[in-house]
Structure formats: structure tokens, C-alpha cells
Structure 1
Amino acid sequence: MRNSLIDFYTACCETDKSRRVFDESPQCRDVVTWNAILASYARDERIDVMEDLFEEMPERDVIWWSTMIETGLKCFREMREKGLKFNEAILVTALSACAQLGLLEQGQFVHSSMNSVKFPMSVSIGAGLIDMYAKCGCIEMSKKVFSEMPRRDVWAWNVMISGLAMHSFGKEAVSLFKRFISKGLSPTNVTIVGILNACSRAGFVNDGRHYFKLMREIYGIEPEMEH
């Protein structure tokens, strides 16, 4: 009943009344109650209060994180519409949010915003774009961004290999891994997870065993649960 009342007042844009119901019986709050009041403040665009609630919330579920991320993306769009400048940290955070929620349109908006002001393609932004496009189903755009990056670090190679694996491009992932090694770069445990995943999806059993063996013997990486 209490949660339904909060939802009702939220739908009526009565955030203060939603909060009054929320505050009446603190001992009766559950995850649904917290999500409902957060949604109310999100609709009211009162981010400062949402941040305060974050500190108080005893547990955070997927719905809570989705609410916070979507609110942040909305703020990014409004910031662009008002002509405010953004920095690398904002772009990387926004791209990560789009990747986690599979919000392709929002990710494309972030990308186009960056291009519109000729924002430089840093390694972190490039990796964020590759990851976002791969997780949103646009592996060709991931490959395009990767090929156009002026400089790449291990993380950029990792997300590209993992993206190819995710879309069952096993042969391309193995080829890219070999290019990675030929450039004198050292794989991390994440790199190995990516290439093993690629071999698994493509049915490359012998290759997978080969890389699993090299992981410990050549690269000094101890197998973990992911491997």
C-alpha cells in the first residue's frame, strides 16, 4: 500500500507527498520503496536529493542503478542543449552508462556531441566507444572506432577483442590477438578472458587450450574463475 501511494503521488508530480509517505515508517521500507522514491526525485530532476538518498540506501538493485544512470544521461543531454562544455571524464562515464544499459541512441548522441566540437579521441574515450557500440550490437562501428584511434592502450585492445568475441567473430578476435602480441604488448587476465571467449564461441578448442596454456607459462597469469 505504501509503495503504491508513493507511485501514485509520483505519477501526479507530487514529490513532496511521495517523500512524506516514504518518511512515515522507515522500518517498513524495502527495495521497491527506495526505487519508488528515487524515481519520484528523478522525475522532479532533484539530483542533489537523489545523491543524499544514495548514502542512506541499505542495498541497491539493478532498477536503482538504472534510475541513476538514466538520470545522468538525461543531465548530459540537457547540458549539451544548453551549450555547456564537457570533459573526458563526463564522456567516458556517459558512454559506460550507455554500454551497461544498451542505450544505442544515447551512445550515438554522446559520440555525435563529441564530434560536433571536434573533441580529441583519447585512449579512454576510444575504448568507451568501442565497448558501447559492441554492447549495443554495432560491432562494425566498434571496429571503425578502433581502426581510427590515433593511439591504443591495452584496454582498447581488450574491449575490441572482447567485442569481437561477444559477436562470435572468433577468427577476427584471434587475428587481432596475434596483432596485439606482435606489437610487444603484454596481455592481462582480461585479454585472456576475451580470447578464450572468442575461441569458445567459434569452436576453436585447440586454440583455446593453447592460449590457456600460454597464459600461465608465458604471460605469468594465474587462471581465475572467469578463465
Structure 2
Amino acid sequence: MTRLHKPKAGFWIRLCVVLSYPITTAFFRLRWRNVDRMPATGGVLVAVNHISQADTLTMARLVWHSGRIPRFLIKHTVFGWPVLGRIMGGAGQLPVYRQSEHAADSLRDATKALQRGECVVIYPEGTITNDPDYWPMQAKTGVARLALSCPDVPVVPVGQWGAHRTLGRRGRFRPIPRHRHEASVGEPLNLDRYRQAAPTGETLRAMTDEIMAAITAEVERLRGETRPATTANPAASA
């Protein structure tokens, strides 16, 4: 796959590429759709459904293939891990502090990255979906807060499917056969009607649901199926 654009990338990002490419090539047959919909320059918020612990690697490769440098929102505990934590910090990834006094720092850092013209990648669900068939579940409102904080930054929905067959819930690893993993990039969403809205619970929920509906529509296209009538609740056990 040839990259669509080639922005400058530092040592740590290139190290991530060198390490991740052999892994994603060995375990997945990758197929992307509509990657040219990714804005070539400027801040962009990429919202993706979450189906596997392995899909951060595949989504990083998709974003890199589009010609952008991905900045993922990642659990802050990862940054304390030996080696991997150093790589994530050096590569400019963004720590997420959940249910702590530092929780607001996550949105602040992501907002600054978007304002600098970065490509920020977020899993709105916050964790791997607990839907039994891996459909997207109800998301948290952090993605809407970010969109409101940077109203001129496009929100791009991405649906993905297949990584769970290789690495499923509770660490079930099935590397053989090499499973197909697909992703589809949706059109940037028009959220202009929320531009002047106050960040009330109702507004944040409406925006979040609209973003997740666009992601789910891409998943439907990949699966060739219609989403279930009931959306899984993230409060339920996975």
C-alpha cells in the first residue's frame, strides 16, 4: 500500500511503523475503503468503533496509509509500562485519565492536538464493545465534547470489522487462518447546527449518538447486514 500523502514523521512514529507493519501484515489481510476521504491536512477527529485489543494497530496503519500521523487517546496506565510506555510517549500519543482528578486533562490535551492540526483518533465507546455480535454499543460523550471544543475540525467516522476474529474478547487468539480485516472511512460529518450549542447532557448525547450512527452505518456496509434494533449498553458486563 502506498501512502496517499507523506508528512514528516519523527523517530518514535517511524519506530512504531517499523514495529507494527510486520505484525499487521502477518496476522491480517487488510482492506480499506474510501481512505481518500481522510482530510490531507489540518486538524481532524477520527472516531472509530472498537472490536479488539489488536485494532489499534490496524487503525494506526490505516491512518498512516492515508498520509496522516495518528495520535490515539490511550489509557494512561499504558504510559507506565516498560518500553511500550516510552514508545507511546515519544510518539506523541495522548493519555486518557478516567474517573480521576486528571480526567479533564485528556480532553485538554486532545483539543490542543486538534488545534495544532493533528489527527486525533478516539474510540467513542471507551472500550471494546460488549455487544455479543460486536456491533457498536452506546458511546461515552467525550467525542462530542471534543467536537464542540473544536467546531472547525472535521469529525470523520470510521467503521471496522474483522480484527476480533484474530484477537477476541478475553484474549482469545486465533492467528490461523490469517483473517480479513476491513475498514471504511465515512464522509466528514456536518455538525454545524451544534456549533453554538451549550454542552448540556442532551446536546452531548445527541451529538454522540449521531457520530456513532455514522460509524455504525460504515460497519453495516462492511458486514452487509443491518444493525440490531437495540444498542448494547456499556454498563453491561463484557
The structure, 1 or 2, with the larger RCO (C-alpha pairs under 8 Å, 6+ apart) is 2
- The two structures have a TM-score, normalised by structure 1, of 0.26
Q: Compare the two structures and name the one with the higher helix fraction.
A: 1
Structure of higher CA gyration radius: 1
